Amino acid sequence: MQAFLVLLRYDLGQMSRSWIARAWIALLVLPALFLVGVAASENELASQTMWAYIAAVLAPLSWLAVSIYSASAVNGESNVLADAILSKSVTRSEYLSAKLVSRVGFTIAIYFLVTLPLAGLLARYAAPDTTALGVLLALVQVGAMLGFLAAAGILLSTLFRNSQLSILGVMALVLTSGPALQFLGLNAMSVTAILTELPATLRGEASAWSALRTVLFFGLLAVAAATAALWTFRRKDL
């Protein structure tokens, strides 16, 4: 347990110093402040402003940033990792568990630290048409998708030795799966369909069960990806 906590603190420190993470945070915060100003001056609807921010700013930027730092989490440290594990200073499970908690937790924490204040500011300064439950359900849905993205990136990082290949793999997975699932009518599993329906969810017009089903689906996918990553990494030849 002590080794896990040391690794967790170390990786969180790496994330806080990462230029990718810092750029991601800055590019999330600045447009959010701009949209609050626009919504206040133009009396824009809170639901439409929040949806525009998530669809046009948060989703594409997070897709890019989270894909990069999650899919390079393991294969980007292959030399150091082999030395540490072969010298028995840490176990494979401790190492990968720390990576999973750090990268997924960092992603979710930054997401809510940005979106919760934004939702509060829009409720105050924009034309109020959202409900507290609708905002909560919408934000948790998107958070579950981001958590799965981070877990899937780490899974691919354990499968491929080349970090560029794993980054492209997780980006392609998100880019193609959303339209494909929407085409098949599986809207509760499609990122694009969920984003399209967010305004109705924010206004409290969408089914709460549908939103919870989406959260459950992506939550289970994240757990499955994390479990598969641990299973693969324990058997991987370093």
Identify residue 92 by its one-letter amino acid code: R
Q: Decide if pLDDT at 164 tops 90.
A: no
Interatomic CA distance for residues 178 and 63, integer angstroms: 13
Give the sign of the dihedral formed by CA 179, CA 138, CA 73, CA 27: positive
For residues 53 and 43, the answer to whether their CB atoms sit within 8 Å is no
Of 102, 111, 142, 105, residue with least CA distance to 24: 111
Q: Decide if pLDDT at 161 tops 70.
A: yes
Residue 78 has what pLDDT? 56
Full-model pTM: 0.90
pLDDT-derived band at 86, boundaries 50, 70, 90: very low
192-213: average pLDDT? 88
Identify residue 66 by its one-letter amino acid code: V
**Tens-digit pLDDT profile for residues 10-40:** 889 988 888 999 999 999 999 999 999 999 9
Residues 6+ apart with CB under 8 A from 94: 3, 4, 7
Q: Decide if pLDDT at 188 tops 80.
A: no
Count of residues in the chain: 238
Could you tell me if residue 13 is left (phi over 0), alpha (psi between -120 and 50 degrees) or otherwise beta? alpha
**Tens-digit pLDDT profile for residues 49-59:** 999 999 999 99
Question: Is residue 127 classed as helix, strand or coil in its secondary structure?
Answer: strand
Residue 236 has what pLDDT? 67
